[in-house]
């Protein structure tokens, strides 16, 4: 008997890359049938809290503590920044400290990028900024908000952290992953996949194995999956050339996605601990799935 598993992930290239083999019959799924939905990052965080939450969901690492009663963190499928990550840009030169009290576009209040920026500014100045939620879909919306003066700076994630440099009027304010590494000497865990606890041990293990196999297949057939992504037109709005896609996947869909290493797990705990001590997070216990 086939068991249906509902998964939800973002339209971004790294998620598409990791789940592509699972959804196109490239790997054996051992009696599991996967159906999927694709929504932007903050909507995924919200979906994980909904009554009809998916069985597997891509979420921001910062949101994992809030849903830990329902979900386990899968040990694979994550995105980790090693000295790089989301970036804050503005229409004029600014420093991290200059963000205090200013309107900053953020991709969502539950996102890791938002939490880390709040933490960095808090540790540097003891102050905060005024977040203005600008979802990452449509892709151009955050840049329009900057140009129109709706916000004074913008926190960019996913492909936007590469493509912003195409606009010569924008200035980098702070590179979040770089600043985090200077502060902690650790990588920056950004996104991950979670699985519902109530699926039961046997199903959790089977689904986890299938998801791991999907990531590993894509890494082993990288050029083929890149060709499929580019030909699908799925991320045309993000203006990703093959060269830029290659760079993007090299950053966020790589060996770290096959499994969190010890420094990455240490970084997750360090992020939660620092945020809790700063009063930005409550309970931070998490548990890894098999």
User: Is residue 193 classed exposed, middle or buried when 0-12, 13-18 and 19+ CB atoms within 10 A define those classes?
Assistant: buried
The architecture of the domain spanning 87-184 is: 3-Layer(aba) Sandwich (3.40)
pLDDT of residue 241: 85
Give the span between the Cα atoms of 26 and 23, in whole angstroms. 8
Query: Residue 147 is encoded by which pair of tokens?
Result: 């140009």
Rounded mean pLDDT, 208-237: 89
Rounded mean pLDDT, 264-289: 91
Catalytic residue of the set 158, 171, 181, 221:
158
Give the span between the Cα atoms of 105 and 270, in whole angstroms. 25
pLDDT of residue 163: 87
pLDDT of residue 137: 82
Paired sense of beta strands 87-90 and 153-156, if any:
antiparallel
Band (144; pLDDT cuts 50, 70, 90): very high
With 90 as the cut, is the pLDDT of residue 88 above it? yes
Half-sphere exposure of 212 (CA within 13 A, CB side): 15
Integer angstrom CA distances of residue 235 from 14, 57, 148, 289: 11, 20, 25, 31
What is the DSSP code (8-state) at residue 74? P
Number of H helices, E strands in the chain: 11, 11
Q: Which long-range contacts (CB under 8 A, 24 or more apart) does 122-126 make?
A: 122/278, 122/280, 123/183, 123/274, 123/278, 124/96, 124/97, 125/96, 125/97, 125/100
Of all residues in the chain, the percent with pLDDT exceeding 90 is 84
Q: Do the first three CATH levels of 3-80+188-277 and 87-184 match, i.e. the same topology?
A: yes
Question: What are the domain boundaries of the chain?
Answer: 3-80+188-277, 87-184
pLDDT of residue 148: 95
pLDDT tens per residue, range 190-201: 999 999 999 999
Q: Where are the beta strands (DSSP E) in the chain?
A: 3-9, 32-38, 56-60, 71-73, 79-81, 87-90, 103-106, 130-133, 153-156, 171-175, 188-196
With 80 as the cut, is the pLDDT of residue 110 above it? yes
The architecture of the domain spanning 3-80+188-277 is: 3-Layer(aba) Sandwich (3.40)
pLDDT of residue 32: 95
Backbone angles phi, psi at 26, to 5 degrees: -80, -20
Rg (CA), the chain: 18
Nearest by Cα to 13 from 268, 242, 256 = 242
Residue bearing tokens 């992953």? 177
pTM above 0.85, yes or no: yes
Paired sense of beta strands 3-9 and 56-60, if any:
parallel
Give the span between the Cα atoms of 150 and 104, in whole angstroms. 9
pLDDT of residue 238: 58
- 96: which residues sit within 8 A by CB, 6+ positions away? 88, 120, 121, 124, 125, 173, 174, 179
pLDDT of residue 56: 98
Give the span between the Cα atoms of 47 and 15, in whole angstroms. 16
Selected residue with higher pLDDT from 2 and 77: 77
Of all residues in the chain, the percent with pLDDT exceeding 70 is 98
Q: What share of the chain is helix, strand, coil (3-state, %, to 5)?
A: 45, 20, 35
With 70 as the cut, is the pLDDT of residue 234 above it? no
Task: Report yes or no: 285 and 272 within 8 Å, Cβ to Cβ.
Answer: no
pLDDT of residue 70: 95
Whether 158 is a known active-site residue: answer yes
Backbone angles phi, psi at 235, to 5 degrees: -120, 30
pLDDT of residue 231: 87
């Amino acid at each position: 008997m086939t068991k249906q598993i509902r998964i939800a992930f973002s339209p971004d290239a790294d998620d598409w890359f990791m789940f592509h083999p699972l959804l196109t019959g490239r790997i054996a799924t051992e009696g599991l049938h996967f159906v999927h939905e694709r929504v932007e990052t903050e909507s995924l965080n919200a979906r994980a809290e909904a009554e009809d939450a998916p069985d597997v969901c891509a979420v921001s690492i910062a949101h994992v503590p809030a849903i830990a009663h329902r979900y386990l963190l899968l040990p694979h499928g994550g995105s980790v920044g090693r000295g790089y990550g989301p970036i804050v840009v503005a229409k004029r030169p600014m420093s991290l400290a200059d963000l205090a009290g200013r309107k900053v576009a953020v991709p969502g209040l539950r996102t890791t990028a938002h939490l880390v920026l709040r933490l960095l500014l808090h540790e540097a100045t003891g102050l905060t900024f005024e977040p203005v939620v600008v979802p990452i879909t449509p892709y151009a919306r955050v840049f329009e908000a900057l140009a129109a003066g709706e916000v004074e700076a913008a926190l960019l994630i996913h492909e936007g952290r590469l493509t912003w440099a195409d606009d010569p009027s924008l200035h980098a304010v702070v590179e979040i992953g770089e600043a985090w590494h200077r502060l902690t000497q650790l990588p920056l865990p950004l996104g991950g996949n979670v699985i519902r606890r109530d699926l039961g041990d046997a199903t959790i293990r089977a689904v986890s194995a299938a998801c791991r196999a999907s990531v590993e297949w894509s890494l082993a057939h990288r050029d083929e999956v890149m060709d499929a992504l580019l030909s699908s037109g799925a991320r045309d709005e993000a203006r990703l050339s093959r060269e830029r896609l290659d760079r993007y996947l090299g950053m966020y869909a790589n060996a770290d996605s096959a499994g969190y290493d010890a420094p990455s797990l240490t970084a997750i705990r360090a992020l939660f601990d620092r945020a809790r001590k700063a009063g930005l997070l409550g309970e931070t216990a998490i548990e890894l799935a098999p």
